[in-house]
Structure 1
């Protein structure tokens, strides 16, 4: 059993010309912090929910970028997406509610691991070092499927996707079911009984952002993360 630290951070693009104005943009997580289920299954998606509040005195006129860092590989920053209010303007005192997802996969986790979620207690506008530990997520073994596909059984290339990409079969395994989720965990594409060995993914069919591709072959499955540029 291992203990992992998942560290949340966020940044935003500065669109203001005055340095003094920039210094007045302050963002912080809401009082409830990052909310998540205390148990998840290996090879499943896990959701994180939280409020981001503009505690400064001028509007934020750009999207907020959410990142996640795993302490096992600190240089490997997981981009969870960009989020903005409907009018792309977050006024002083206003908050935006964000739900984002990540994949508990075999590259970093195994059944029985514990995940500790951390986020900065404040930012102004950059993270302050004092962190708050909020508890753990227990990763239990997945019992719904008999086997897990190996990481190299299927490949998606190129990824990120700028025009089109091909989901290719590396070990003569047929794709019996394909499901694509957006960053909010919503199913946006589903194909069952495909029996294909290769599937083309086109940029024109998706909005810019992060997606999760769930591939099922017989009684086995895997999930791949893709980025649409």
Structure 2
């Protein structure tokens, strides 16, 4: 794979800007608000279907928002970080992904000990522990498609565009927005940590794939743990 230069983009390289950020935000907000209300109305009596549908929405919202930002002006995958990186960085991202998962698990344990509300993810947990078929579909949505959609949107567009103001703004602000997009709940600090790791990898590689791996590992391992624990807890 081709080695990509680290640090911020050369000044003559095309990259997304405020137009793409605005389009991304509008589409993401509309899709999440409208579709989530439809899901809750249609499947309110079945928490498993709610969880599975919201998992599908997590993937679709990111992909739809990214598609809108992509089509509005630039229409270049490389400009949004959809480009190759080195095997070295892919392996590093696996290690960072595992570390992020373990850190996030530890944080959840601390929140539980401190009496935090861990019930906001009940629908997702129900979908992850409702048999092999539902678990497999949930794994596809949460572990693969959601990291793709959200990293294309939040790192490929948002972090990418904000990096013109430097890494502290690019990584920090985009991670905060990414966390807030997950709601004011116990997932917020976990999403922020994941966003920081993914943002840093994007900054260093200019590729979304290491960020997708970190995000994917956190989601995949979390879903697998929920599935396994349902048989023992």
Relative to the length of structure 1, the TM-score reads 0.21
Task: Flag the structure with larger Rg.
Answer: 1
Q: Answer 1 or 2: which has greater strand percent.
A: 1
Q: Answer 1 or 2: which has greater helix percent.
A: 2
